[in-house]
Amino acid sequence: MARGLILSSPTLTATTCLFASISKTPPKSFNLSFGLKLIHHHYHLIPSPCSFSVDSSPSQCSIDISKYTETFSRRMAMAGLKSHHRIALGVSGGPDSMALCVLTAGWKTAGADAVTSENGGFIDGLLAIIVDHGLRAESKEEANIVSHRVSKMGIRCEIACCDWPSGRPKQGQLQEAAREMRYQIFQEVCAQHRIGVLLIAQHADDQAELFILRLSRNSGVLGLAGMPFTSQIFPTYTQSYREVQANQGILLVRPLLEFSKEDMYKICQGGSENWVEDPTNQSPLYARNRIRMVLNNLSSSAFKFELQVLISACRITRTYVDQIAYSLIRDAVVIKDHGYVVIDLQILCPLKVEDICLMKFLSLILQFVSQRQRQIRGSALKLLMDYIRTFPCKNSVTAAGCYLCPDPGSRGSRVLVCCCSNGCAFPLKIEYFESQSQGQQGCCVANELEKIIEAEKSYANHLVLDASDVHFLDVNPELVLTEAKRLNIIGESTYNSIFALQKQETAHFRSKTEVISDSASKHGVTPFSKSLQPGQFCYFMDRFILTWKLKNNIDNDELSGLVDYEMDLGEETRSLCCTSCVAGNNKVPEVRHMIESDWLYLAELSKYPLSKNFPQYEVKSVNGTKQIMDRASPCLHYASVSAKQALRFLKSIPVAARRSLPVLINQQGQLLSIPSVNFKHCPFLMVHMEFKPKIPLGGGHTSFI
């Protein structure tokens, strides 16, 4: 089935068309024209032990960089971007990000829909975000210097400082921790400024480093495809209800992937812009640095060209596999509002799907259900391959924080996939935030981002791949390099160079002892016993929005269900209800996931007749203690009716899926509400729950064109 799909991409040659052979000691300055006069400057940074600045002083030399501006404009159009869109730039002050500033400023001001720079001398709709990691004494001064330089280019800047509440990251984890913090800040600043697009200055040399790094880690062809051209990223933490409603994240765009590192220097010098070089990038402590230094010594143009062709071949295969996986999701998967999915095995026909496509499909499903930021990889997927291909499905399995079992009533023709809340290592995550009005601006950003993504998809849909360009589908990860040589994608010399570098880095990786941090500390897991204040919003397991408050009156539809019980629901009774259930003596509800005792409690509560023969009754609570309630309490009458109605709803939810649903309890452990089945212990308690997963099914938009 998979090989019959016709696809294509121009990336096989486009990625390598811009590698110019230039001197290792480039000229001191060049002239650059975009059709708008930009302010140039010369700001000198005093060298320090950790960084130094390169000065691009004007001289008689010049260079035509029209090919760079034309390629940049083409890539921006491929991303669905136009000059009127609001865009942020990730800027460090190095040659890569400074080149990105030069090209973006020129593109913004020279577009068909010209953007004026009358707003205080800054280009409208363009913001540079400079992150001060605070890991070196001079970082603050450097950030200010970079801000000054970028501002002189007509780009508004914002410096964001990192906060390390747990202290400075350990040396072996420094780069990864800094990267995670940096992207978290990028998202926060973009949200504050209502910006939906972030440009990052990663280029073709970065792709080559990542290829060798992943090759040494035994990555398959999908990982060897490297960084996507565009990808949606979603916040790890939620600041407001507005962000949840928009649910678009930000679009990360890498428009420089067709440029080399030396191109970055040319562009900076052409714009007479200075940059900062960080000597720590020469430290052999970090894998990327070691790989970069070796690649720089392999200066053969044939080697660089063939390596980029190999990466392009992997990207074409990644595009093909992604399209197959997304097609399978559209056809064979149903999302349920209670936070789980159902896979139709008869529609999926897993035995007819190639292994690599089926693994990608399963990875996307598990990522959605578990709401992980990164896709699932490794042995968990191999375990599920055999499970999903067993028809009819008869057993259950747990993998990557998810529970898979036959969908009740399907006779094994469908598989239910839900979050595994009990007995799994996947932690309980609860976030608390206050309500903020989304407002018209928030809606506009989400709508604009949606249009940008649709425009990129429209562009990609016009690309027709020839099936012969799709390689490595059935190749084991350790044989990708060998297969590339067999297909004449790379020559013998390039193969030997890459293999030697892979072997060297693999040996270094295996000899290194790595400390894996606790996932709970990364996610900032909140204990489930934390109270939920009235009017406060709770993001439960990154998929349910929960809030509650007390009402002053009862809705008519609730009253209609209580008519037969002749209940007194006046103001005095309302006060009694709320005092006994929620509000009195600081009895603020707490949030946790549902457990088996909850529905057993509902069943027992619903049995008790509302007879006046007995003044009291007792029911076992979820923690095993006996709850004694006065039969005269209106809460008892209402709770009994609500329990009966809730049990009918509960029967439609598979038992496995119930355990991931949120419930409200009081401080004694008594069940107050199960909002997913409309159970409430008090008629004046209003609880709102909405299924709103952070990570959409499919992981958000991603493109490798």
Residues 6+ apart with CB under 8 A from 6: 464, 465, 466, 467
d(CA 266, CA 29): 9
pLDDT at 20: 36
Q: Tens digits of per-residue pLDDT, 203-218? A: 999 999 999 999 999 9
Where helices occur in 122-253 by DSSP H, the ranges are: 139-152, 174-192, 204-216, 221-224, 241-246
CA distances from 402 to 216, 377, 381, 399, 657 (A): 29, 14, 12, 5, 10
- Provide the whole-model pTM: 0.84
Q: Whose CA is closest to 268, among 97, 21, 130, 145?
A: 97
The residues near 96 (Cβ < 8 Å, ≥ 6 apart) are 201, 202, 203, 256, 261, 264
- Residue 136 and residue 17: Cα distance in Å, rounded? 39
Q: Which residue has the tokens 């000059």?
A: 83
CA angle 352, 357, 361 (to 5 degrees): 105
Closest by CA position to 574, among listed 549, 551, 548: 551
Q: Residue 427 to residues 412, 424, 430, 520: CA-CA distances in angstroms?
A: 29, 8, 10, 6
pLDDT at 473: 93
Query: What contacts 24+ positions apart, CB below 8 Å, involve 146-150?
Result: 146/91, 146/92, 146/93, 146/276, 148/43, 149/41, 149/43, 149/93, 149/98, 149/273, 149/274, 150/91, 150/98, 150/101
Determine the Cα–Cα distance for residues 627 and 618; give it in Å rounded to an integer.
5
Omega within 30 of 0 (cis) for the link into 609: no
Q: Are 322 and 705 in contact (CB under 8 A)?
A: no
Tell which residue, 169, 165, 161, has the closest CA to residue 141.
Answer: 161
> Strand (E) positions, 263-369?
275-277, 333-335, 341-344
Distance between CA atoms of 225 and 214, rounded to whole angstroms?
10
Q: Measured between alpha carbons, how far is 89 from 186 in angstroms, rounded to an integer?
A: 9
Low-confidence residues of the chain: pLDDT under 50: 1-52, 58-60, 425, 438, 513-527, 574-576, 583, 611-615, 622
Predicted pLDDT of residue 558: 63
Of 347, 404, 392, 407, the residue nearest 652 (C-alpha): 407
> Cα Rg for the chain, rounded, in angstroms?
29
Please tell me the predicted confidence (pLDDT) of residue 47. Answer: 33
Residue type, 497: S
Pairing label, strands 662-665, 671-674: antiparallel
What is the rounded CA–CA span in Å between residue 42 and residue 32? Answer: 15
Looking only at the bridges linking them, the beta strands covering 197-199 and 250-253 are parallel
Whether the Cβ atoms of residue 402 and residue 369 lie closer than 8 Å to each other: yes
Quote the distance between the C-alpha of residue 450 and its chain's center. Answer: 16
H helix or E strand, kind and range, residue 547: strand 544-550
Which of 630, 533, 651, 663 minimizes the C-alpha distance to 586? 533
Q: Kind of pairing, strands 126-132 and 671-674?
A: unpaired
Please name each of the domains of the chain with its CATH number.
64-110+122-203+220-281 (3.40.50.620), 536-565+576-611+632-691 (no CATH)
